[in-house]
Chains A and B, each alone.
Chain A
Amino acid sequence: NAGVTQTPKFQVLKTGQSMTLQCAQDMNHEYMSWYRQDPGMGLRLIHYSVGAGITDQGEVPNGYNVSRSTTEDFPLRLLSAAPSQTSVYFCASRPGQGNEKLFFGSGTQLSVL
């Protein structure tokens, strides 16, 4: 059982470039989310989805887009990368209920030069 799979693990971008971080889960979880982790700031919610076709903004959505066309996949798009988006990004999923734990991917380390 693969769980939550994120690709790539590392990425370097130049300012202004666009890219997509991939996230896939094989647990049939309704809920999926993206966080960024920065030193001293913990994990901050970027976007989340409660099911296919439904997405909503988190705490820090600016500069990021998401879509949820299938239950399994929840890609995160950076439209025009900025140095402020240098961070470690985590995808997480869970069954629909809020009392269930989050299952995390192993993270994507992104540097924007």
Chain B
Amino acid sequence: AQSVTQLGSHVSVSEGALVLLRCNYSSSVPPYLFWYVQYPNQGLQLLLKYTSAATLVKGINGFEAEFKKSETSFHLTKPSAHMSDAAEYFCAVSESQKVTFGTGTKLQVIP
């Protein structure tokens, strides 16, 4: 069965610092992997997705993620955090007809 593990339920970074949100997955087949962002009192929006093309995936708002099969990881990064990046981030894996989400990481950006 597929699963997703997000390390760190809360991450704090200073404005302008590197953002690194960790995601590890397990899947019995080559996975489709996603990162979604949730702003307060809203639904989830897609940041980026990996679908077996390039291993480095670029998304919206300057975020990117690298698929590493050997490490079963799909970590999300952004070189320089903005205040507007404060939100909750979810990693997800899609296999068969089910999409499984991680438990989420709340990102705090400190001025």
A101 touches B46 (CB 8 A): yes
Min C-beta distance of A15 to chain B, whole Å: 26
13 contacts between A and B (CB under 8 A): A33-B99, A35-B101, A42-B6, A45-B98, A45-B100, A90-B44, A92-B44, A99-B49, A99-B94, A101-B34, A104-B45, A106-B43, A107-B41
Q: Give the distance in Å from the alpha carbon of A58 to the alpha carbon of B41 in the complex.
A: 24
Residues of A within 8 A of B (CB): 4, 31, 33, 35, 40-45, 48, 50, 56, 58-59, 90, 92, 98-99, 101-102, 104-107
Which B residues lie within 8 Å of A104 (CB)? Answer: 43-45
Q: Are A48 and B98 CB-contacts (below 8 A) given A90-B43, A90-B44, A106-B43?
A: yes
Count residues of chain B with CB under 8 A from any CB of chain A: 25
A98 touching B9 by the CB < 8 A rule? Answer: no
A interface, over-half SS: strand
Neighbouring B residues of A106 by C-beta, 8 Å? 42-43
What chain A residues lie within 8 Å of B102 (beta carbons)?
42
